[in-house]
Structure 1
Amino acid sequence: MTPASSPAPSLADHAPRIAALAGEHAVRSEAARTPHPDVIDAVVAAGFAAHFVPPPFGDPARTFTELKRAAAVIGAECPATAWCAVLATLMARTAGHLPPEGQKRLWGKGPDTLIAGGVTPRGNASPTEGGWTLSGSWPSVTAAEHADWLLLTGVVHEGGTAGPRVFVVPRSAARVEKTWDDIGMQATGSHTVAVDEVFVEEPMTFPLALLAEVDDPRPGHDDRPVPLLAVNTLLFCLPMLGAARGVLRRWTRSVGDKLHERQGEFDPLVAHYADVFARSSSELDAAELVLDRVARLVDTAERVDRADVARNQRDCAFAAGLLVDAVDRLMRASGSSGHSTGRALQRLWRDIHTAGAHMALQFGPAAAQYAREFLRSDTAQ
């Protein structure tokens, strides 16, 4: 009788080790403005880059719920590393819209290909025989120095295919300009990438509009269309959830002894700490419940329509606001020691503010889009 084989380790199984390694290198990585190579190697080896690689090259059973659990664990120690990890999954998922030949070039030798990039059109492309010529400069490309391939978006101004397109080019074809100077997420290495008249073959490009399609199946994926806008904000929130957990855990350790020492009679400081703890932990729990709903929807829904996209974006922006508010309250009650540059508390605080400042997580635009979708006469039934 052959014994049953053990299931392969999940992202969550690898997450504590990556978190410890990232925490160990956090100070040096911030100073270098780039993730430590050992940390990136651990992220890739754990399967983050392969998590959403489409079949036949990847495992179609991978879920956002699994990713959420792992990213939050890593984010509690180093939100910047969690950001690199979730962006690796997002870029692979995006590159899955390439034609089959392009997908084979990326993953034909295995799914652990690290792709960096972004979908905001920053470059220009011209059609040429067999493909396109691409030039441009793209800021804020996470883990740019460590990528195998770069996913870059440019606008075609001529011919029958005019409009924005996504291009995937080898990292060796680009130069990285070290421009990343944000006060938070310093260890993401989100520098500027530039290319000058790089030839991109036809199989390594697709129209940007494919990412927004709702009613048609995703090329190369399963038959459940989940457009990019339904999931990108969820991924941006996961390092923030981890950061908030990390701040709450450290704050609780630092004030726990004070609370126990001073109980027994009414003490305004004890009452203040209790209020801070209860409110911030409630906000963190509420944000996590909202994000769980988003993950569950995109993991299980047979179809994701425009209304689902609008709700997901609203929910993620709302959750991001709760997490930032919770961390700010804890930091205000941490005393001057909590802001010491020698403590991780202030690093997590800076990181969550940088992540929360992402335009995709601003509640105003998300609320307006949600209202437009749900206040229409055919939706508000």
Structure 2
Amino acid sequence: MTTVAVKQTSNWPQAPLERRAHALAQVQKISERLAAGVEQGQREGRLADDAVAALRESGILGIMTPDDLGGNVVDPPTAFEIIEAIGYIDPSTAWTTTILLEGAGQLATQLEPAQAAVVFRDRLPLKAGSLRPGSAQRVDGGYRVAGQWDFVSGIHHADFVSASFLVDDADGGTERRMALIPVAEVEVLDTWHVLGMKATGSTTFRADEVFVSDAMVFNPLGPVKRSDTPLARLGMVPYVLQMHMGMVLGAGRRALDEITRMAPTKRRGSRINIGAATSLADSSWFQRELGELDAALRAARALGLEATGRVRDQLAAGGAMDLELQDYMQTASSHAGQTAQRVITRAFRHAGAEAIMETGVLPRLLRDINTILAHGVLGEVGFELHGEFILGLQTPENRRMI
């Protein structure tokens, strides 16, 4: 496996600690621009263009792409904290950011180096895609791809889409392939009308007999084309998990901060019970729950940072992702999702009438966290897998991919 050097577009520091500090500073630098676009994203069902421009300009969308392809790779704990900080601002923005930067990192890993040099030549290419298979017909030099693919987060801001399809393998079964298609060659449909995560724009696209050359087709679960990328070193599931747990914990912290801000002036039940406490902040039962929720968030965050830190140290020592580390990452992610859901739900309940306004922060977070947890990657099935691991029922071969 080789690396093809192309024009470098990143000026991030090379030393790991300096790069980490620089990366986290970029999130703070663009935080106001991201926050300013949240309501527009909710209305339009896609991120505001200026928010995406800020993410591009900051270099954050390159954190899973090697430096020689114009990216600026960071380690797993830093990736966790970057998306956590964006999740605090808006889960939809964090989710879309994660999908787009993961897509760029996948292209860097799965395309032949010479082809990657072409795709990454002008700027960091952003990719959105779907794992739900469509159809493709083998033709001379490639495939004719047709079908409809749904749940394609970030498609409105992507340069390419990946359309999944199945091919016959040598053993009589099937293997997955992905065809990389410029967004301009597909039809983007208006199907994303949902409860939460509205600004992810996770809509549907349709391809009508689009020709895709062999150079732009890859096996997402097959051998990688270069071994030094984050995806190649981590494997697909840990690659995704390192950021998704940060996203939900950032949202949980935002919810707790919101109800803490309200507490000194919020009076629950005072219209009926004139003896109600002056404020939530003066209520011992609220103080107790606030303390419990804060401790739960801190514990879930510590578990996530420990998991990602162990992955970083394992890779730095030349090791690989083993079964125990995969399980640890998945357990930390499921725990993060469960904890964030509890924190956001309780904050919403304490806020009273203020929480039912459609444009409020807490109702948006409540809709978003429940929509996120409908996705398997952060769902309760992670605890089932952890139980299997504890019981010694798992091997690297039989462990299920969420």
TM-score by length of 1: 0.86
Partner of 2:305: 292
Letter in 1 for 2:150: P
Q: Does 1:146 align with 2:162?
A: no
1:278 to 1:195, Cα distance in 2 relative to 1, 3 A: same
Aligned-pair CA distance for 1:257:
4.9
Structure 1 residue matching 2:165: 3-state secondary structure: strand
Contact preservation (8 Å) 1:124, 1:156: no
Q: Where does structure 1 lack aligned partners over 5 or more consecutive residues?
A: none
Distance in 2 separating the partners of 1:217 and 1:303: 17
Q: Does 1:134 align with 2:145?
A: yes
1:172-217 superposed Cα distances (whole Å, 9 cap, x missing partner): 111111111121111111111221221111121222322xx7xx89
Partner of 2:238: 230
1:21 to 1:124, Cα distance in 2 relative to 1, 3 A: same
Q: Does 1:367 align with 2:383?
A: yes
Structure 1 residue matching 2:110: 3-state secondary structure: coil
Partner of 1:79: 91
Structure 2 residue matching 1:333: 3-state secondary structure: helix
Aligned-pair CA distance for 1:158:
7.8
Q: Aligned residues, how many?
A: 366
Q: Does 1:354 align with 2:357?
A: no
Distance in 2 separating the partners of 1:116 and 1:88: 6
Contact preservation (8 Å) 2:146, 2:206: yes
Structure 2 residue matching 1:125: 3-state secondary structure: strand
Distance in 2 separating the partners of 1:292 and 1:317: 14
Letter in 2 for 1:368: E
Aligned-pair CA distance for 1:44:
1.5
Distance in 2 separating the partners of 1:92 and 1:100: 14
Name which of 244, 257, 260 aligns with 2:252.
244
Q: Does 1:272 align with 2:280?
A: no
Q: Which runs of 4+ in 1 moved over 6 A?
A: 5-9, 158-161
Partner of 2:261: 253
Letter in 2 for 1:127: R
1:268-307 superposed Cα distances (whole Å, 9 cap, x missing partner): 9611211221121112111111211232133231210233
Contact preservation (8 Å) 1:52, 1:59: yes
Partner of 1:204: 216
Structure 1 residue matching 2:69: 3-state secondary structure: coil
Partner of 1:303: 320
Q: Does 1:177 align with 2:189?
A: yes
Aligned-pair CA distance for 1:32:
0.9
Aligned-pair CA distance for 1:325:
0.8
1:316-354 superposed Cα distances (whole Å, 9 cap, x missing partner): 112210111111111111111122224222112221221
1:226 to 1:172, Cα distance in 2 relative to 1, 3 A: same
1:347 to 1:44, Cα distance in 2 relative to 1, 3 A: same
Contact preservation (8 Å) 2:144, 2:211: yes
Q: Does 1:337 align with 2:345?
A: no
Aligned-pair CA distance for 1:247:
0.9
Name which of 73, 79, 86 aligns with 1:67.
79
Q: Does 1:313 align with 2:330?
A: yes
Aligned-pair CA distance for 1:55:
5.3
Distance in 2 separating the partners of 1:99 and 1:144: 24
Structure 1 residue matching 2:233: 3-state secondary structure: coil
TM-score by length of 2: 0.82
1:349 to 1:61, Cα distance in 2 relative to 1, 3 A: same
Structure 2 residue matching 1:184: 3-state secondary structure: coil
1:359 to 1:223, Cα distance in 2 relative to 1, 3 A: closer
Q: Where does structure 2 lack aligned partners over 5 or more consecutive residues?
A: 1-11, 268-274, 396-402
Name which of 26, 48, 54 aligns with 2:60.
48
Contact preservation (8 Å) 1:100, 1:220: no
1:171 to 1:297, Cα distance in 2 relative to 1, 3 A: farther
Distance in 1 separating the partners of 2:232 and 2:212: 29
Q: Does 1:195 align with 2:212?
A: no
